[in-house]
Amino acid sequence: MSAGALPDTLVHRLRPAAGEPEGALVLLHGRGADENDLFGFLDLLDPERRLVGVTPGGPLFLPPGGRHWYVVPRVGFPDPDSFRQSYALLDEFLGALPGATGVPWERTVVGGFSQGAVMAYALGLGKGRPTPAGIVALSGFIPTVDGWEPDLDRPGPPVWIAHGRRDPVISVDFARDARRRLEEAGLPVTYHESDAGHQVDPRTVAGLPAWVASAVG
């Protein structure tokens, strides 16, 4: 694969770095959105464009519309079949990312919102997956799903968690549980709660650009 090319296994948008990339930032959208949804966040989290940015789109089209990463029979417990399908596609896509961008996985931050945060946890902590530079989980949870479990017996990666206490879609209890599990495993966690609902609260992500820069640095 030539430099700058990415596989077509997932639709995606690419934001090149301003110069030679010092790292990479992958952002995964939430339920019913698409690869355009978090593209603007790349400049927000990396305003100096030190990193190459990628926003893949989920492979599933489900009601009420938009792209999805998995079917939701119950919050916290993704449907195993659709989860495994998306996990395999993301594993292949992200596995090709270092060769396409010249940025090793250990200098790549993977993050997302809602379903995207779930998949960021899954790809960042999955058994057999390399350890990323960091994980950003906005309004998500560590999934409970047959055939997947987190590998927490590893050094790092640092994790940034932000969640709203008034979230009616994914309870803040999921974020608190993730924080507890990760800290008990010795992973460095930066944790933020706010009175927001199921959304990204600008106050909780104000320090995220510096965190991302530190993680890849």
Domain 12-216 falls under CATH 3.40.50.1820: yes
Q: pLDDT band at residue 2, thresholds of 50, 70 and 90?
A: very low
Taking only the tens place, the pLDDT of each residue in 57-94 is 999 999 989 999 999 999 999 999 999 999 999 999 99
* pLDDT at residue 35, as a whole number: 98
**pLDDT at 154 > cutoff 90:** no
- Other beta carbons within 10 angstroms of residue 100's beta carbon come to 19
Strands (E), the chain: 12-15, 23-28, 51-56, 60-61, 67-68, 108-113, 134-138, 159-164, 189-194
Q: pLDDT band at residue 204, thresholds of 50, 70 and 90?
A: confident
- Inter-residue contact 112 to 137 (CB < 8 Å): yes
Question: Which two tokens mark 209?
Answer: 């650009």
Taking only the tens place, the pLDDT of each residue in 39-63 is 999 999 999 999 999 999 999 999 9
Distance CA(172)–CA(157), nearest Å, equals: 22
Q: Would you list the domain boundaries of the chain? A: 12-216
